[in-house]
Homo-oligomer: A and B are copies of this chain.
Amino acid sequence: MKKQLTLAPIRTAPGPWGEEDIRRMPTRGFQKMLGIVLDEVTKERITAHINIEDHHINSAGAVHGGVLISLADSLGAMGALQNLGPMHVTSTLESKTNFVRPCVSESISGECQPLHVGRRTSVWYTVVRNERGLICAHIWQTQIHSDPNS
């Protein structure tokens, strides 16, 4: 028998999300499993951290690259959601990561800022650091903003 998924969208109405909407995002689903803890939430800057546990580790004993990218992907979406036009929703169109240091750390932090906020797209840049503040990964992503009714 098929498993019935129970997670509905947090919000389906178009238009910009407020801080309260954003802060509900890590309370469930994949963001909760990742253990994302939101720190700062503004339209121009979103920061968060994750306390690393065994279930974040890769086969080399470091934090799995997918954890770093997933953190960034989540923060970039939060950035775009806060900057939508009144009739728009957003989804991630593409993302790019450069890993510059193996991430062996008891916690990681992500800092996300916009490189571009346009009407139809926005571009977000997230730096992920280890507990010593050294950069482990640079992640850039493009969000498309579109009117679901057009």
Pick the residue among B61, B74, B92 that contacts A99 (CB under 8 A).
B92
Asked if A66 contacts B64 (CB within 8 A), the reply is no
A interface: dominant SS: mixed
Interface 0/1 of A81-98, CB less than 8 Å to B: 000000000011111111
How many residues of chain A are within 8 Å of chain B by beta carbon?
65
Asked if A5 contacts B54 (CB within 8 A), the reply is yes
Contacts of A7 in B (CB 8 A): 54, 57, 61
Asked if A144 contacts B120 (CB within 8 A), the reply is yes
Q: Residues on A close to B: CB < 8 A?
A: 2-3, 5-12, 24-25, 28-34, 51-61, 64-67, 69-71, 73-74, 77, 91-100, 102, 106, 115-116, 118, 120-121, 123, 135, 138, 140, 142, 144, 146, 150
Q: When chains A and B are docked, how far (Å) is the Cα of A28 from the Cα of B11?
A: 34
Contacts of A57 in B (CB 8 A): 5, 7, 28-30
Contacts of A99 in B (CB 8 A): 91-94
CB within 8 Å for A123 and B95 given contacts A30-B57, A54-B6, A64-B70? no
